[in-house]
């Protein structure tokens, strides 16, 4: 039976790259994003790669939207085998005490609550069918402290804790949950952040031992590996993919 993956934030960046990587393996893709134009483009490319794919518009900070994308996926494909719990935003790059409360609420709503809601509804389906594999997107800011991203960092540290605790509860039932911790990567979200904070791009590149940003395709290869059966005995891990960026911190 053909496997099915849900990918949030799949309209661009890491989510889109992961969707196409999995589509090339013939896996059905439920593309979830708030951006319909980007989401439909990912569906188009996934179908061109030979997979079946659908787009579901969702604001992941709303539990009802999350339940809807899970329900629609099951209705269309009958199963959820893989979940790349990836949707997220970075914020303005302001220091914490200069950050508006509205921005804090938005980042927490999308990055943390969205991830929790996703697992709440997806894992329910997975456990009913005997198990499944989840990869959460944390960040280098989820394993170290970094300035200008306090709220973002808090949510990504939360993703790490969520990952480990879910394994403690549900690994015995066939659930695998891992996190990736990308460093600065050439995605639209990161590009927008650096456009507002150009000096931070120079600092980031200088601080990466490999002296360059990562690519979405490099991250997608890791996500694909962790989601599939090739990684059956990897569970509860937080895997850094950052060119050595956090190795020196």
SS3 179: strand
* Per-residue pLDDT reduced to its tens digit, 158-169: 999 999 999 999
pLDDT at 247: 83
Q: How far apart are CA 210 and CA 171, in angstroms?
A: 35
* Per-residue pLDDT reduced to its tens digit, 72-122: 999 999 999 999 999 999 999 899 999 999 999 999 999 999 999 999 999
The residue with greater pLDDT, 37 or 189, is 37
State both tokens at 181. 């911790």
Mean pLDDT calculated for residue range 185-192: 82
Cβ atoms within 10 Å of 208's Cβ, excluding its own: 21
Domain ranges of the chain: 4-241
Is the pLDDT at 249 greater than 70, yes or no?
Answer: no
Say which of 69, 121, 152, 194 is annotated catalytic. Answer: 152
> Thinking of the domain 4-241, which architecture would CATH place it in?
3-Layer(aba) Sandwich (3.40)
152 among known catalytic residues: yes
* Per-residue pLDDT reduced to its tens digit, 216-232: 999 999 999 999 989 99
């Amino acid at each position: 039976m053909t496997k099915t993956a849900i990918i949030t934030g799949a309209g661009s960046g890491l989510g889109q790259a992961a969707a196409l990587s999995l589509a090339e393996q013939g896996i059905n893709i439920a593309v979830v994003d708030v951006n319909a134009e980007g989401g439909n483009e990912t569906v188009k490319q996934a179908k061109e790669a030979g997979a079946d794919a659908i787009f579901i518009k969702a604001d992941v900070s709303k539990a009802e939207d999350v339940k809807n994308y899970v329900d629609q996926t099951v209705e269309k494909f009958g199963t959820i085998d893989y979940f790349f719990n990836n949707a997220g935003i970075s914020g303005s790059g302001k220091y914490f005490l200069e950050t508006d409360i509205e921005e804090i609420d938005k980042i927490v709503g999308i990055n943390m609550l969205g991830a929790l809601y996703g697992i709440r509804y997806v894992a329910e389906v997975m456990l009913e069918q005997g198990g499944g594999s989840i990869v959460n997107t944390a960040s280098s800011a989820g394993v170290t402290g970094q300035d200008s991203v306090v709220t973002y960092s808090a949510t990504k540290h939360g993703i790490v804790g969520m990952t480990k605790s879910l394994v403690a509860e549900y690994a015995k039932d066939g659930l695998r949950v891992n996190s990736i911790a990308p460093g600065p990567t050439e995605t639209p979200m990161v590009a927008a952040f650096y456009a507002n904070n150009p000096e931070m791009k120079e600092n980031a590149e200088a601080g990466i031992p490999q002296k360059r940003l990562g690519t979405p395709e490099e991250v997608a290869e890791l996500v694909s590996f962790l989601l599939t059966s090739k990684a059956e005995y990897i569970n509860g891990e937080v895997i850094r993919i950052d060119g050595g960026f956090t190795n020196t911190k």
